[in-house]
Amino acid sequence: MPSETVSASNTLDLDALARETYSAVYSDVCDAIGKRFQTLKPGARHVAGPDGVLIGHARTAISMPVTEVPERPYGGEIDFVDSLGEGDLVVLDCSRAPAAAWGELFSAASAGRGARGALIDGLTRDVAKINELDRFPVFARGARPTDALGRVAIREWDVPVCVYGLTVFPGDLVVCDSDGVTIVPRKHIPEVVPRALKKASIESEARNLLLDGGYLRDVWENYRVL
């Protein structure tokens, strides 16, 4: 494991992890330690922002349906986004109403505070504008121009949330990419991350052997990966 990726204080180099690992290796390692249900159900897809692996620590929130404009418009959204910090990854449950719970300015504000991206069980909007930011990936069910104001509002944050069939807790490690999403429970991060790095390295060696004409049976016997 590269020493710069995980320090002695367990502070993760999330940029390095995004370069070196991906959702499938975390899923495999979670399987190996007995956490066999750590991937989200299909539905979350990359909608806006830079493509590739998005990885960060869950900052959870719940956006609930409302029937009128709150006395303080966007109050919960403002307080939540302004509380974000380095390494945070927004995990937002907005599954109860078909309005866009996220957009360009929330993304810009989050990126400016050091947050890495957003995973939304629901919809976003301003896709082209978020793409122009080129620094804040958003995974969601899709996009819709319908504004959240008077339709949904963030009421709770830093609480467990259920997104795409799995409960995510604040501080869990969230790994999103083109395969889907794996959630590493917070208490297992120190064990799982080094093993994921090692597995990614082994799979790279195995791939190179196969490309050089090696046999799949030999890769299995030597590396125990497929």
Give the pLDDT confidence of 178-202 residue by residue, as tens digits. 999 999 999 999 999 999 999 999 9
- Contact criterion met (CB below 8 Å) for 34 and 158: no
Q: Whose CA is closest to 197, among 15, 69, 17, 31?
A: 17
Read off the amino acid at residue 63. Answer: S
* Residue 168 burial class via C-beta count within 10 angstroms: exposed 0-12, middle 13-18, buried 19 and up: buried
Say what angle helices 189-211 and 216-223 make with each other, to 10 degrees. Answer: 150
Angle at 57 between CA 53 and CA 61, to 5 degrees: 110
SS3 of residue 97 by DSSP: coil
Check pLDDT > 50 for residue 52.
yes
Q: Which tokens belong to 191?
A: 């064990």
**Rounded to whole angstroms, how far apart are CA atoms 113 and 139?**
19
The dihedral formed by the CA atoms of 126, 132, 135 and 138, expressed in degrees to the nearest 10: 30
Q: Whose CA is closest to 39, among 55, 58, 24?
A: 24
**Rounded to whole angstroms, how far apart are CA atoms 72 and 115?**
24
Q: Which tokens belong to 79?
A: 């307080």
pLDDT digits (tens, 9 = 90+) for 105-141: 999 999 999 999 999 999 999 999 999 999 999 999 9
Which pLDDT does position 219 carry in this prediction? 83
Please state the rounded mean pLDDT for residues 85-110: 97
**Rounded to whole angstroms, how far apart are CA atoms 22 and 182?**
9
Which pLDDT does position 47 carry in this prediction? 98
Q: Which tokens belong to 134?
A: 């080129």
Structural domain spans, the chain = 37-187
The CATH class, in words, for 37-187 is alpha beta
Check pLDDT > 50 for residue 37.
yes
pLDDT digits (tens, 9 = 90+) for 6-34: 333 348 999 999 999 999 999 999 999 99
What does pTM read for this prediction?
0.91
